[in-house]
């Protein structure tokens, strides 16, 4: 099939795992990729490996995306810089165009559908209350059923602009507000403060950076989680706080059966591409959450029919 047009502002979608049915759709409809512009890799002679592709996307496409969004891009938000790269066949024929754009990817690399253009969307990487994020070793994985092992249970969303209408609040000021606010939200969600403590869970929250604030992001999540005894990472929690809960003392095994990178995510999952900070210890009142973690490297994506293959930025 012919390649879709490279026009900035056009949106692409596919449903097959091999992305062979990629086509242009109205951006108001669910889609997996929003095109922002193109660059030509004239200085690249050898076909890059996967790591080098991610570096090139980060180096060459990030400026294109920033320009496309008029510098209003949240690097810790829901969306990631991605690209459509030439297939090996087209590369061998001399094709060097890299189409840059935006996508929403899970931690495992599965792509979530987006609706509407990014410039007109809330870029906040928040989950709805009741969402549980799986556990992958000592870290956070993709959304899962709360009845199974997970790292995090989201209990609420807070709009910081309601407390800080004058401008970006320092992290210390965010913490001073979010500690009692998220404790209140978590207590209501769980059915009492004693429920949280008896089940050995901890209230923690996300912080915003000035980069996120300048991009228009205002909302953060309040969450419940538990740390391993040595505080080396998240402990596996089985069950929602609203029911029986078991907190494991050993690290969870690596996540299994994750979708191949670039494959459309299962419809039952919610977008959660942004990383989440580690929870604070359970001793005493809930302390500040600390700075958000750095984003993980962008996911690799599945092959498309000639002439392009999706890829995400990340390693730099």
In a domain, 37, yes or no: yes
Q: How do beta strands 202-205 and 219-225 pair?
A: antiparallel
Site of tokens 């090139």: 56
Measure the CA–CA gap between 158 and 126, rounded to whole angstroms: 10
In a domain, 69, yes or no: yes
In a domain, 105, yes or no: yes
pLDDT of residue 99: 92
Stated pTM of the model: 0.80
In a domain, 281, yes or no: no
Measure the CA–CA gap between 65 and 97, rounded to whole angstroms: 15
> What does the DSSP 8-state code read for residue 234?
B
* Total domain count, the chain: 1
CB burial of residue 158 (10 Å; 0-12, 13-18, 19+): buried
H or E element, residue 312: strand 308-312
In a domain, 246, yes or no: no
H or E element, residue 152: strand 152-159
In a domain, 264, yes or no: no
pLDDT of residue 9: 97
Measure the CA–CA gap between 196 and 143, rounded to whole angstroms: 21
Divide the 316 residues of the chain into consecutive groups of 10 and give the mean pLDDT of each group: 86 83 94 96 93 94 98 95 89 94 86 95 96 93 94 98 97 98 98 97 97 97 96 96 96 76 56 36 32 34 44 59
pLDDT of residue 15: 87
Measure the CA–CA gap between 216 and 99, rounded to whole angstroms: 26
Range of the domain at 61: 11-121+297-312
In a domain, 83, yes or no: yes
> Count of alpha carbons within 13 Å of 177, Cβ hemisphere only?
16
What tokens appear for 275 in the block? 């990383």
In a domain, 71, yes or no: yes
Cα-to-chain-centroid distance, residue 251: 23
């Amino acid at each position: 099939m012919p390649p879709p047009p490279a026009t900035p502002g056009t949106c692409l979608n596919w449903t097959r795992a091999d992305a062979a049915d990629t086509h242009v759709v109205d951006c108001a409809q669910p889609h997996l990729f929003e095109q922002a512009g193109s660059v030509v890799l004239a200085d690249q002679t050898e076909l890059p490996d996967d790591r080098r592709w991610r570096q090139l996307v980060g180096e060459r496409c990030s400026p294109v995306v920033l320009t496309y969004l008029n510098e209003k891009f949240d690097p810790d938000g829901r969306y990631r810089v991605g690209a459509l790269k030439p297939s090996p066949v087209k590369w061998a024929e001399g094709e060097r165009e890299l189409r840059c754009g935006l996508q929403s990817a899970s931690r495992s690399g599965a792509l979530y559908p987006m609706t509407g253009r990014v410039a007109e969307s809330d870029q906040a990487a928040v989950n709805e209350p009741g969402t549980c994020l799986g556990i992958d070793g000592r870290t956070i994985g993709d959304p899962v059923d709360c009845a199974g092992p997970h790292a995090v249970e989201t209990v609420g969303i807070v709009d910081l602009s309601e407390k800080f209408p004058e401008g970006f609040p320092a992290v210390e000021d965010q913490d001073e507000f979010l500690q009692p606010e998220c404790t209140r939200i978590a207590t209501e969600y769980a059915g009492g403060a004693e429920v949280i403590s008896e089940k050995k869970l901890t209230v923690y929250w996300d912080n915003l950076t000035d980069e996120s604030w300048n991009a228009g992001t205002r909302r953060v999540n309040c969450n419940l989680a538990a740390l391993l005894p040595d505080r080396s990472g998240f402990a596996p929690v089985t069950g929602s706080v609203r029911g029986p809960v078991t907190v494991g003392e050993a690290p969870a095994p690596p996540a299994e059966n994750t979708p191949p990178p670039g494959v459309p995510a299962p419809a039952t999952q919610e977008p959660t591409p942004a990383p989440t900070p580690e929870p604070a210890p359970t001793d005493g009142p809930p302390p500040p959450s600390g700075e958000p973690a750095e984003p993980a490297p962008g996911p690799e994506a599945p092959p498309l029919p000639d002439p392009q293959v999706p890829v995400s930025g990340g390693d730099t």
